[in-house]
Amino acid sequence: MVYYNKKISCILLITFLIPFIIISPVAAAPQLDIKSPSAILMDAGTGTILFEKNSHEKMEPASITKIMTMIIALEALESGKVSLSDIVRVSERAWGTGGSQVFLAPGEEQTLETLLKCIVIASANDASMAVAEHIGGSVEGFVKLMNDKAKQLGMRNTNFVNPHGLSSPEHYTTAHDIALMSRELVKYPLFFNWSTIWIDYLEHTDKKRDATMLANTNKLLGKYEGLDGLKTGFHNKAGHCFAGTARRGDFRLISVVLNADTSSQRFEDTVKLLDYGFGHFDAIKVVEKGSIQKILPVEKGHLENVNVIVPEDVSLLIEKGKEGEIRTKVDVPDKLCAPLKKGNTAGTLLIEQGGKIVKKVNLVIAEDVMKANIIEMFKKIFNKWFNF
């Protein structure tokens, strides 16, 4: 009976303490006065969340949807499935989309590059539909690509039913999921060629028509240091939305605010989020791509030694003022045995902060090392004997 009472007491004590056990991310949650109902701030490099407010609440994203539209388009360009010079014929369906548009006419032909520029700068729904039909074969085929990509990116609370964001009960996402797809989009430098344009013009196929002005709806361009994207959105059910990104040095942040009451509020909340991120954190490049971390001897190889390198740049998100806490440690074997193939893993780089391992990076072999032939083996033996 005494044992039972002690067991109950322990359970009650643990239950009482659970609310006070905090697993800290990079820093304690800040007290930011974000008025928008849903928001998030993410480090683009590591995906670390620096602030969130109702970030998993499902909401309609309006034209922020076009972030995924652009991802699918840029992915198709990268794979060679389409090219910027492709001529796209505007269908009746695309022409009749409604909402924000650049007034493409049925049968009008534009290059894919021009249509993508219309999407990014002017948030053109008609251009989005034309691009969807060109890349996906149909709007429905393109939407399937969008949802497949969303699953691949871990967007668990998202469902797209169109490529433009016009209101639909089954068309929804979250601030968190938008941050995930924004992080994917910023990997494409081509996107920023268009997202940083203030004003441009669309020349129509019918030369009798006046050119359509393309005006960027991102009011923070040129007003907030380093800000170069991403996408605004608005309709009555979605409210005023904005997915923003800004870069200073190697440090890029992604912010998302949803369902703000006014256009100015979404931008004010964005500035608060980005100010907090840049004010309290930084991205430190710990090691550069290709840097030699160790030179290892090779047994039975045509080379005596081989370089072990870092295959990519390695950056770490840290709180400002804690740069001096970063240390690196190489964990590799004493030697390697041929044959060895370039790019194969040869060990691990351990990155420590404040004495704790915060990141592990594979180290790879810098070049192929073939097995030594008989003559090379004889030379090695002779050299060792002669040197001895």
What pLDDT, in 10s, does the model give residues 38-83?
Answer: 999 999 998 999 999 999 999 999 999 999 999 999 999 999 999 9
Q: Residue 97 has what DSSP assignment?
A: -
E strands in the chain: 38-43, 49-53, 87-89, 109-111, 199-202, 212-215, 227-235, 239-248, 251-260, 281-287, 292-299, 305-309, 314-319, 326-331, 336-337, 345-353, 356-365
Which is it for the CA torsion 146, 151, 155, 160, positive or negative? positive
For the chain, the C-alpha Rg in angstroms (whole number) is 27
Residues 44, 45, 46, CA angle at the centre, nearest 5°? 100
Q: Helices (H), strands (E): how many in the chain?
A: 10, 17
Cis check: omega of the bond before 230, within 30 degrees of 0:
yes
Of the candidates 38, 55, 123, 195, the residue annotated as catalytic is 123
**pLDDT tens track for 252-275:** 999 999 999 999 999 999 999 999
**pLDDT tens track for 97-143:** 999 999 999 999 999 999 999 999 999 999 999 999 999 999 999 99
Active site residue 123: yes
Model confidence at 386, pLDDT cuts 50, 70, 90, reads low
Model confidence at 150, pLDDT cuts 50, 70, 90, reads very high
First to last CA, the chain: 78
Nearest to 178 by CA among 14, 63, 22: 63
Query: Distance (Å, rounded) from C-alpha 341 to C-alpha 344?
Result: 6
Of the candidates 66, 117, 149, 231, the residue annotated as catalytic is 66
- Determine the residue type at 88: V
Query: Distance (Å, rounded) from C-alpha 321 to C-alpha 282?
Result: 9
Segment 315-322 shows an average pLDDT of 87
- Determine the residue type at 224: Y
Of the candidates 36, 38, 63, 255, the residue annotated as catalytic is 63
**Which spans in 153-302 are helix H?**
175-185, 189-195, 263-280
Phi, psi (rounded to 5 degrees) for 166? -60, 150
Residue 339 CB neighbour total at 10 angstroms: 15
Active site residue 63: yes
Phi, psi (rounded to 5 degrees) for 219? -75, 0
Q: Residue 211 has what DSSP assignment?
A: P
